[in-house]
Amino acid sequence: MWLIEWLYTLAGTVKVKTIKLYLCGLKSYQLDLGIECMAFIDPRLERTLSGIKQNHSETDRRQRTPLTRLYLLTILNTLGHTSYDNVVLRAAFTQAFAGFLRVGEFTYRQTDLDTGNAFCNWFLTKSISLLIAGGAHLELNLPASKTAPFRHGIQLTMAASHYAGCPVMAVKSLIQIDSHRPAHAPLFSIES
């Protein structure tokens, strides 16, 4: 079969992932020309790719587990309650967990700070509305979110849970300890 012979010629120079991309391109090209594509569904093709992968010692992807409440509590137990950085990390972790936030919704890069006043249009700052209603829940306004159409922002409501991973208690602690930074500063920013 010409396809498997061609794969073996590629095996020493490119990764299996790249070979699969080449195969998709070839299949697409053949479909465009109206040529039959039975070779691409042959089980020998998948076994050949598997053999190339094993022969060239390509490692499998690292297994990732979901972030569960147990993992969150384990992380929080390693953090202390006294240092400023630990209070910020505790608030960030609990907000991200309770609000199902994507990493880009509560973090920023150093270069993002160079955007000046536009920073508060895209990232959480201290001036973002954090409404803690009687300690029962917390309302967090995200200025931009991937889930919000047209990036107009969304409002998240997080309930107080009264356990170690409570987002309301963590934000209250952050507000108490974070009076030295201006309102346009990022909400979660460690000192070290």
145-154 pLDDT, tens digit per residue, is 777 667 677 8
Strand partners, 141: 155
H/E stretch holding 140: strand 137-142
Question: How far is Cα 110 from Cα 119, in angstroms, rounded to an integer?
Answer: 11
Token pair for residue 4? 């498997």
Per-domain boundaries in the chain: 2-55, 69-177
Residues paired with 137 in a beta bridge: 133, 159
pLDDT at 90: 92
d(CA 170, CA 148): 26
**Residue written as tokens 């160079």?**
114
Residue 14 has pLDDT above 60, yes or no: yes
Q: pTM to 2 decimals? A: 0.64
Per-residue confidence (pLDDT) for residue 13, from 0 to 100? 66
Rounded distance, CA 95 to CA 48, Å?
46
Q: Comparing C-alpha atoms, which of 66, 94, 96 is closest to residue 163?
A: 94
**Which residue matches tokens 């050949």?**
48
Asked if 94 contacts 160 with a C-beta cutoff of 8 angstroms, the reply is no
Burial of 138 (0-12, 13-18, 19+ CB in 10 A): buried
Report how far residue 177's alpha carbon sits from residue 166's, in angstroms, rounded to the nearest whole number.
17
Q: Say yes or no to pLDDT of 129 above 60.
A: no
Q: Does residue 159 sit in helix, strand or coil? A: strand
- When pLDDT is averaged across residues 109-128 and rounded to a whole number, the result is 76
Q: Would you tell me the crossing angle of helices 16-33 and 43-55 to the nearest 10 degrees? A: 150
pLDDT in tens, 71-97: 999 999 998 778 888 998 998 899 889
